[in-house]
Structure 1
Amino acid sequence: MEEKKYFVHESSYVDEPCEIGEGTKIWHFSHIMKDCKIGERCNIGQNVVISPNVVIGNNVKIQNNVSVYTGVVCEDDVFLGPSCVFTNVINPRSFIERKEEYKQTVIKKGASIGANSTIVCGYDIGRYAFIGAGAVVTKDVPDYALVVGNPARILGYVCECGNRLEKIDNGYKCGICDKEYEKSNENLIPRE
């Protein structure tokens, strides 16, 4: 029998086939469904469900009580806070099957989703964006944006290191790591 290079707690289920990367840990009462891809060094907390065909990048942290539904793609270094919620159908009804209507939601590299946030399907969360706790995302979120509220709105911008950026003359600067950014359309881009 081939030795697995990842950890699965004995109370969790992993349906086959699926791919799970080296160093990933899957904790208590979680269910990994078939045909999903989970990268290396991920940490999947207690009571997490990952539905079929979900793609999870490397070094993704999924906290307790999160359901990651079909249609969700998490790129590398994403953080999903406790009890955050994803949807995959715009107009669900229990008596109408709408699997052919699943919409894709992409959480781009380095983004963080706060506890108890709701991400309505069909939108992208930009690179290193930060979704505040309890926010309800109903449209695309630009790179590095800090969004809060219901519906979520841009409150400011955050650095790759996670700290809020300060507005300077012609851009933004991190007061912690001194990295600077400039605005390009709705997104921020790091200055070289």
Structure 2
Amino acid sequence: MDNKVTLYGASGHGKVIIDILESMGVGIATVLDDNPNLKALLTYPISKPTEVDRVEDRNVIISIGNNKVRKALSQKMNCHFAQAIHPTATLSKHTRLGEGTVVMAGVIINPDTTIGAHCIINTGAIVEHDCMIGDFVHLSPNVSLAGNVQVMEGAHVGIGASVIQGVKIGKWATVGAGSVIIKDVPDYAVVVGNPGKIIKYNTTNE
């Protein structure tokens, strides 16, 4: 298997992943995207998925920010999913990290935390001890999670949000930017404000 990484998705998120991989000294094999108007991502040419060999023999990162799209694509692919961890991120040796997950610059993850598969732990996020982050979660830049927080599958925690210790964020929930979460958030709920309040529910069609 080629040690280089194939990115699936030519997005701004993909640009950040390229930068991380370059910082790690990992090569980029190709960038795949089915948008015919896209020709290159940074310095890397873009190929259509149909124009290259099957991904089964590749190291792949799904470089798409949408949690539902990452889940759908990952279930269709039979390949090895790589990780990308920026050299400036600080991860406890007692952290467990799932396949396909990316950890960006300045992140801090403390001991006995479990991060699921295909997660985005974005720039400057802080994840304290004993947290459990499910698959396909996105923690936006500068999110702060206190100890023993659970963030369930597919949830999106917006930029600068803070979550106190012991709180559970339900699956496919959305926490708005800058929100302060002091109690559990139900599955699919959209919560905003300080303290966070439910304003609606996301669709349950995953």
TM range (shorter): 0.5 to 0.7
CA separation of 1:112 and 1:55: change in aligned 2, threshold 3 A = same
Residue 72 of structure 1 corresponds to: 149
TM-score normalised per structure 2: 0.57
Indicate the structure with greater strand content: 1
Once superposed, what is the RMSD of the aligned Cα atoms?
Answer: 2.1
One-letter amino acid of the structure 2 residue matched with residue 50 of structure 1: V
8 Å Cα contact 1:26/1:44 also seen in 2 = yes
Residue 188 of structure 2 corresponds to: 128
Aligned ranges 1:101-112 → 2 under 5 Å: 104-112=166-174
Residue 159 of structure 1 corresponds to: 203
8 Å Cα contact 1:47/1:64 also seen in 2 = yes
Higher relative contact order (CA 8 A, sep 6+): 2
8 Å Cα contact 2:191/2:199 also seen in 1 = no
8 Å Cα contact 2:132/2:151 also seen in 1 = yes
Structure 1 residue runs without a partner (length 5+): 89-103, 138-151, 163-192
Task: Confirm or deny that 1:49 pairs with 2:108.
Answer: no
Indicate the structure with greater helix content: 2
CA separation of 1:157 and 1:8: change in aligned 2, threshold 3 A = closer
8 Å Cα contact 1:5/1:21 also seen in 2 = no
Residue 15 of structure 1 corresponds to: 92
1:29 Cα deviation (Å)? 0.6
- Secondary structure of the structure 1 residue equivalent to 2:150: strand
1:71 Cα deviation (Å)? 2.0
CA separation of 1:18 and 1:156: change in aligned 2, threshold 3 A = closer
Task: Confirm or deny that 1:117 pairs with 2:194.
Answer: no
In the alignment of these two chains, the number of paired residues is 127
TM-score normalised per structure 1: 0.61
Aligned counterparts of 2:91 and 2:179: Cα–Cα separation in 1: 26
